Amino acid sequence: MAEINSVAVDLHVKRYSDFDLLRIAKAVSQDYDGLVTAFLVNVHIHACSSIGVMFGHICPVPYAQCADGRLIRTLDIQSATKEGRFWVIDTVNSKYVIATLGVISSAAACVSSCV
């Protein structure tokens, strides 16, 4: 009997909560020191860098690599400061605003171990 090779694939669509969308809108409307590269939601700090979903990236690149809703892993975090209501992380050449955190209790506690 011939074997049938099959793969089960679950397609997941991430719908952002009203809270995420509201935080993005508030983060974009706030003023920051310097130029902000992008705004991040559902951020996880891992191995001294942040992983999250980006919105409002300032650098247009080919093939929509920096399109809204795409995942990004930043370079190593150099510093983290709180500006107004949001945490801002600086990498070597970029500045990201954290609109919402993933399953992390405190950005300061996570970043302090990296910086």
Domain count, the chain: 1
Contact 73, 50 (CB under 8 A): yes
pTM: 0.75
Range name among 37-51, 56-70, 81-95 with the lowest pLDDT average? 56-70
Is beta strand 49-55 parallel, antiparallel or unpaired with respect to 38-46?
antiparallel
Residue 83 is part of which domain span?
18-112
**The token pair that represents 94 in the structure block:** 């970029």
In a domain, 4, yes or no: no
In a domain, 100, yes or no: yes
In a domain, 101, yes or no: yes
Altogether, the residues listed in the chain come to a count of: 115
In a domain, 12, yes or no: no
In a domain, 6, yes or no: no
pLDDT digits (tens, 9 = 90+) for 53-85: 888 888 766 666 677 778 889 999 999 999 999
Contact 114, 77 (CB under 8 A): yes
Which helix or strand (DSSP H or E) is residue 33 part of? none
